[in-house]
């Protein structure tokens, strides 16, 4: 609750905070070795039941939809306000141990989303704190699978901010923690996160092995093999992970081939489509097909018009950094730059 209040108040120290490697590692170790809380029954004044738990889950789902379509910066503050105003009193209410476990698991999902939205907004220290809170909630609920998903999210963020060794360790902890309960979809997602970090480290063999296992696992998924919250991770998402990894390893042709099926195109996953499209654009210019690369980049910038996301901005800046002096002198770039100047993300990133 203190974190939620400080976040809503936009406390300066919190907003400017950066993620801390020791905090990631300590949280992961505690989660791996500590037993679940013994008893979650509470004796507060307000009776909390299964319908309240469902309310939290449904509200989180609505915010998740907004996050994917418009970016984390669009409704992040509204989610934190909901946690502070509506969810906190539920945690202080009256409920049985069974309902308490369900409630803490549902709140963990909401906190995980708060972490993702904060991360997407460029508030990395804030995001880390929400992820750690979510992990603690999964520990209280005894929900090892959701705890693994939280560690996987931490790994994703660690890779983004350049803490690649931390990202590898977090992804491996996510894979190990759930034990025999780990389903194929979650296993594939965790291995993909490990592969992302290994690609950034230049560990080609390790990355290939992790991707191969992820691909093997995703083929084993069934309609009921994993929790609903991981259902988003499918063949399209895995294709995007292949694209990211091969781009980072300098294998641009493979990045365009394996990443070709990484676009949803449904209007509901605009941010994911933006990331995958920018990776494709970068891979094409890296292999010398600048006309094709610039054409794809324009498609990505068009997707980004409705996105409020610091991560999207960083992808544009990375793309700009890959445009060499020779490319800038080409007619294809002049045409591209003229059109790109009409898009918000390109202007915010600054011209190359």
Assigned token pair, 184: 């194929």
pLDDT at res. 261: 87
pLDDT at res. 35: 83
- pLDDT digit string, tens, across residues 280-337: 999 999 999 999 999 999 999 999 999 999 999 999 999 999 999 999 999 999 999 9
Structure pTM? Answer: 0.96
Rounded-to-integer distance, Cα 97 and Cα 60, Å: 22
Question: CA gyration radius for the chain?
Answer: 21
Assigned token pair, 243: 């694209």
pLDDT at res. 8: 92
Helix (H) or strand (E) holding 58: helix 50-70
pLDDT at res. 282: 97
pLDDT at res. 351: 59
Q: What is the mean pLDDT of each run of 10 residues along the chain (352 residues)?
A: 90 89 96 88 96 98 96 96 97 97 98 98 97 97 97 98 98 96 97 98 98 98 93 94 97 94 88 96 96 97 96 96 95 96 94 54
pLDDT at res. 150: 98
Among residues 158, 164, 134, the alpha carbon closest in space to that of 148 is found at 134
Among residues 266, 274, 289, 288, the alpha carbon closest in space to that of 244 is found at 274
pLDDT at res. 219: 96
Spell out the alpha helix ranges (H) of 142-234. 144-160, 164-176, 184-201, 204-218
DSSP string, 30-51: HHHHSPPPS---EE-SSB--HH
**What 3-state class would DSSP assign to 95?**
strand
Q: Given the DSSP bridges, would you call strands 42-43 and 94-95 parallel, antiparallel or unpaired?
A: antiparallel
User: Residues 116, 208, 173, 107: is their CA dihedral positive or negative?
Assistant: positive
What's the full length of the chain, in residues? 352
Residues paired with 47 in a beta bridge: 94
């Amino acid at each position: 609750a203190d974190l939620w209040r400080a976040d809503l108040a936009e406390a300066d120290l919190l907003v400017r905070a950066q993620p801390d490697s020791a905090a990631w590692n300590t949280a992961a170790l505690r989660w791996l070795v500590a037993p679940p809380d013994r008893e979650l029954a509470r004796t507060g004044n307000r009776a909390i039941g299964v319908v309240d738990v469902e309310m939290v889950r449904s509200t989180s789902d609505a915010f998740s939809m907004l996050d994917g379509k418009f970016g984390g910066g669009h409704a992040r503050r509204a989610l934190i306000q909901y946690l502070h105003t509506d969810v906190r009193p539920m945690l202080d209410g009256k409920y049985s141990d069974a309902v308490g476990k369900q409630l803490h698991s549902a709140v963990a999902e909401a906190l995980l989303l708060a972490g993702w939205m904060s991360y997407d907004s460029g508030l990395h220290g804030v995001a880390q704190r929400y992820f750690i809170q979510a992990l603690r909630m999964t520990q209280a609920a005894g929900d090892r699978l959701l705890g693994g998903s939280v560690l996987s999210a931490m790994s994703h963020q660690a890779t983004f901010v350049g803490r690649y060794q931390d990202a590898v360790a977090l992804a491996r902890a996510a894979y190990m923690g759930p034990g025999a309960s780990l389903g194929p979809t979650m296993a594939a997602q965790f291995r993909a996160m490990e592969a992302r970090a290994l690609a950034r480290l230049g560990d080609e063999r390790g990355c290939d092995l992790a991707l191969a296992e992820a691909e093997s696992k995703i083929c084993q998924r069934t309609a009921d093999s994993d929790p609903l919250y991981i259902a988003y991770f499918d063949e399209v998402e895995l294709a995007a992970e292949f694209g990211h990894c091969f781009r980072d390893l300098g294998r641009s042709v493979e990045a365009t081939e394996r990443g070709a099926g990484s676009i949803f195109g449904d209007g509901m996953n605009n941010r994911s489509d933006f990331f995958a499209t920018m990776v494709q654009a970068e891979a094409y210019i890296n292999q010398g097909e600048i006309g094709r690369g610039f054409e794809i980049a324009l498609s990505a910038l068009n997707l980004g018009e409705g996105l409020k996301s610091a991560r999207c901005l960083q992808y544009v800046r990375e793309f700009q950094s890959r445009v060499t002096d020779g490319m800038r002198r080409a007619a294809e770039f002049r045409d591209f730059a003229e059109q790109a100047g009409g898009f918000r993300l390109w202007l915010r990133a600054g011209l190359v």
